[in-house]
Amino acid sequence: MMILRRIKDNLFLFTIILAYGLISIINPSMGLASVKNSGYYIKEMLMIMPVIFVLTALLDLWVPKEKIMQFLGRDAKAKGLLLAFVIGSVSAGPIYAAFPMCTMLHKKGASIRNIVVILSSWAVIKIPMLLNEAKFLGLRFMIVRWLLTVAAIIIFSWLADKIIKDEDLPQGEAQKLGVSINKEACIGCRICVEIYPELFEMKAKKAFVKDYDDREIDSERLKKTMMDCPVKAIEHTE
């Protein structure tokens, strides 16, 4: 049971391991080439991910929520868009390097639109890459593509903002300190709200953690709530 569940939770990982096993039996040289290809990306990731994690944590602790809201929130308008473009396009690394930073910014009040802008420009409007692009594809190509892509991002981030609501994003992540809820797991049973209404509330049929003060947590009651949650979706990291 336990093993089955672990496989189900990490289905992708097991598929990849299986694929590597198969390819190494059928064609060992191809297996080796794949590992070699991966090694290149791992090196690149190790160069950029640690610094992003540390930067994200520092920004999270030092920049107050009001500032993020003011500069990247819903009311920041054009100023927010511009800042989002700048953040995305000066950063190094692939788009998934931007994930932890964007979830942190969103939690602190950045709008969906600005998050989409950061992610998209992080992916494809790289100022560090402009010279590279001009070299491989020509100056005219680079300028036209750059202008078109910026315009496209402005339009589709607006569309995304219309479709996606703030509550659609998972509220708590494992990396976040304190109490959080795994929104993918939550089935909206309301048990936590009934046991500990001071800490939990319901929004759009899912449980959410209210704003709280660390010192006011009743750890006994929290423990009971966590035990009683039928899908064990409540996490508490100290």
CB of 194 to another protein, least distance (A): 25
188: left (phi over 0), alpha (psi -120 to 50) or beta: left
Q: Output 24 or 228, the one with its CB closest to another protein.
A: 24
Residues in the chain: 238
Q: Output 30 or 231, the one with its CB closest to another protein.
A: 30
Q: Output 84 or 112, the one with its CB closest to another protein.
A: 112
Q: Output 141 or 212, the one with its CB closest to another protein.
A: 141
Q: Output 78 or 163, the one with its CB closest to another protein.
A: 163
